[in-house]
Amino acid sequence: KILITGGLGQLGRGLASRLRARYGRSSVILTDILKPTAGVVKDGPYRFADILDFKLLQEMIVNERITWMFHFSALLSAVGEQNTALALRVNIEGLHNVMELAKQYDLRLFVPSTIGAFGPTSPRNPTPDLTVQKPSTIYGVSKVHAELMGEYYHRKFGLDFRCLRLPGVISADTAPGGGTTDYAVHIFHEAIRNRAYKCYLREDTRLPMIYIDDCLRAMVEVMECDPRLLKQRVYNLQAISFTPAELAKEIRRHMSNFQITYEPDFRQQIADTWPQVLDDSRARADWGWKHLVDTPDLVELMLQYLSHHYEFNAGRQK
Ligand code: VAH
C-alpha cells in the first residue's frame, strides 16, 4: 500500500491515478491538510495528515500497512522565501518525521528534489549529478538536506530512498504551488483567457522543464525499478529547456496574436542561480529514463486541454 503526502499539490492526484490504475484504487492513500473536493473523494481514499504530526503519520502507516511512500509536502522556492520559518518546519522537520518512519517501518521512500538544489556556483549548462550544491533559497537548502539525509539513511540503515531532481513541472489539470517555474503554467491560462501574459522572468531565462506525464512516469519507473539498477540514490532528470521568449514563440504558432511582456521580480534572482540544462545521462543509462514530450508537443497539449476546460466552464455559466 502506498501513502502520498502533500497529495493535493501539483503532483499528487495524477500520481495517485497512475498508481491506482496499476495497483488498485484502495492501494493508494492520498493525504494532505486541505479539504478535498468531491472529485478527490470520488477518485479514492483521502485522509487528513499533517507531516509535522509524527504520531498521526505513524498510526496511518501501521493501520494501513503502508509499504511505499511518496513525500510531496514542501514549500516551493518562491513561497519559501516569503516564509522561511514555515519552510524550515515543513521542508526539514517534516522530512525528518517521514525519514524516521520510513526507516522504522522499512518503507520504500520517494522524495522529489529539484533544480533548485543547485546554486550560483554550480555549473549551469549542463549541470552534472555530482557537483557543487550551494543553493541560495531555503527551499534549495532544504532539498540538499533531504538528498543528504536520504543517502545517509540508505548507507547507515539500508533505507530504500529514491530521489529525482525534477525540472519545473508543467501541468494543465493541477496548479503549481508557488515556485519560480510557475510562469510556464500561468502563461497558458493567460494565453487562452486574455491572449496576453506579463512574465515575471526575463525573456532569456532558460530553465529545465518537464511535462507532467513524463514526470509522473519517471517517478513510477524509478520506484518500480530493480534496486540493483540504481547506482546512486539521487538522479538528475532532464526533459526540455526553454526561455519565456522561446515558449511565447511556440504559443504564437497556434495563436498568432499572443502578446508577452516582461516585468522581472524577486523570482528572477532565484532563476538566475539555477541550472539551464541538467545532465541526466546517468538516469538514462542506469534505469532507462527517456522523456517523450518535447516543447512543441507540450504547447499543443496544454493549449488543447485548457481551451476545452475554459470553453466548458463558460458553457456551464450560461
Ligand atoms: C520551483 N517548481 O519553482 C519548483 C521547482 C523546478 C523548480 O522545484 O520552486
Domain ranges of the chain: 2-169+211-236, 183-207+240-276+294-317
Looking at residue 20, its amino acid is R
**Tell me, what's the pLDDT at 118?**
99
**How does pLDDT run across 196-218, given as a tens digit for each residue?**
999 999 999 999 999 999 999 99
User: Per CATH, is 2-169+211-236 categorized as 3.40.50.720?
Assistant: yes
Cα Rg of the chain (Å, integer): 19
User: Annotated catalytic residue: which of 46, 139, 197, 200?
Assistant: 139
**Tell me, what's the pLDDT at 173?**
95
**Residue 179: CB within 6 Å of ligand 1?**
yes
**Tell me, what's the pLDDT at 318?**
58
Q: CA 314 to CA 109: how far, in whole Å?
A: 42
CB 57 within 8 A of CB 98: yes
Q: Would you call the peptide bond into 176 cis, given omega within 30 degrees of 0 as the criterion?
A: no
**Residue 180: CB within 6 Å of ligand 1?**
yes
Say how many Å lie between the CA of residue 318 and the centre of ligand 1.
37
**Residue 218: CB within 6 Å of ligand 1?**
no
**How does pLDDT run across 99-110, given as a tens digit for each residue?**
999 999 999 999
**Tell me, what's the pLDDT at 18?**
98
**Tell me, what's the pLDDT at 312?**
82
Kindly report the number of other CB atoms within 10 A of residue 37's CB atom.
12
Confidence check: pLDDT of 317 > 70: no
CATH of 183-207+240-276+294-317, one of 3.80.10, 3.90.25, 1.10.260, 3.90.400: 3.90.25
139 is catalytic: yes
**How does pLDDT run across 10-36, given as a tens digit for each residue?**
999 999 999 999 999 999 999 999 999
Provide the grid cell at 157: 540503515
Is the ipTM reported for this complex over the cut 0.95? yes
- Residues of the chain with pLDDT > 70, as a percent, come to 99
**Residue 205: CB within 6 Å of ligand 1?**
no
**Tell me, what's the pLDDT at 315?**
75
Confidence check: pLDDT of 41 > 70: yes
E strands, 178-218, where? Answer: 196-199, 207-211
CB 2 within 8 A of CB 67: yes
Angle at 11 between CA 238 and CA 250, to 5 degrees: 50
Nearest to 273 by CA among 149, 118, 151: 118
**How does pLDDT run across 45-54, given as a tens digit for each residue?**
999 999 999 9
